[in-house]
């Protein structure tokens, strides 16, 4: 809405937001009890791994949808940087992860190292085949209503729901 107002297109912006809100309601209605599955969000970067929490783009959309989240022992509301020993904190009924790659291969190497680690393989979500790689640009770096709609497209696929 901020962009729409800045461009003098408040009414058009309201229509875009209303259409997105309608899609959220559709998803919620079709997902039903699946929304009770606790979903953890993990990001791999060069030399860092984070659990993304409520005060992130993903967290805000998840809250609007009503997707349950695991409890992370952190006062930080954005993200919690973790070591491999803290991987159990990233577990949930489902794990969605994305990787920030700048082109030097370091983010991808972090992802590979962690996904091949026995601690990762011991997580319940991993053992239950409930881990999904999602797009870093859509889920984290882009923001805005277009990215939110693309995120919702991926959620329809992950939850095996027809839009």
| pLDDT tens for the chain, residues 1 to 163 | 888 899 999 999 999 999 999 999 999 999 999 999 999 999 999 999 999 998 899 999 999 999 999 887 555 578 989 999 999 999 999 999 999 999 999 999 999 999 999 999 999 999 999 999 999 999 999 989 999 999 999 999 999 999 8
Phi first, then psi, for residue 95 (nearest 5°) are -120, 130
As a residue count, the chain comes to 163
d(CA 20, CA 16): 6
CATH 3.90.1150.10 fits 33-158, yes or no: no
Give pTM, 2 decimals.
0.92
The helix/strand/coil state of 94 is strand
Position 75 scores a pLDDT of 53
Q: Please count the other Cβ atoms lying within 10 Å of the Cβ belonging to residue 129.
A: 8
């Amino acid at each position: 809405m901020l962009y729409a107002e800045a461009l003098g297109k408040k009414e058009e912006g309201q229509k875009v937001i209303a259409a997105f809100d309608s899609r959220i309601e559709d998803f919620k209605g079709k997902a039903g009890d699946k929304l009770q599955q606790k979903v953890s969000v993990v990001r791999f970067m060069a030399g860092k791994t984070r659990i993304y929490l409520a005060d992130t783009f993903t967290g805000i959309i998840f809250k609007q949808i009503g997707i349950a989240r695991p409890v992370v022992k952190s006062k930080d509301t954005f993200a919690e940087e973790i070591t491999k020993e803290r991987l159990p904190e990233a577990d949930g009924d489902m794990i969605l992860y994305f990787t920030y790659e700048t082109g030097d291969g370091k983010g991808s190497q972090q992802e590979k190292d962690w996904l091949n680690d026995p601690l990762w393989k011991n997580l319940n979500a991993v053992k239950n085949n409930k881990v999904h790689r999602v797009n870093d640009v859509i889920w984290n770096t882009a923001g805005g209503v277009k990215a939110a709609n693309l995120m919702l497209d991926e959620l329809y696929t992950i939850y095996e729901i027809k839009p």
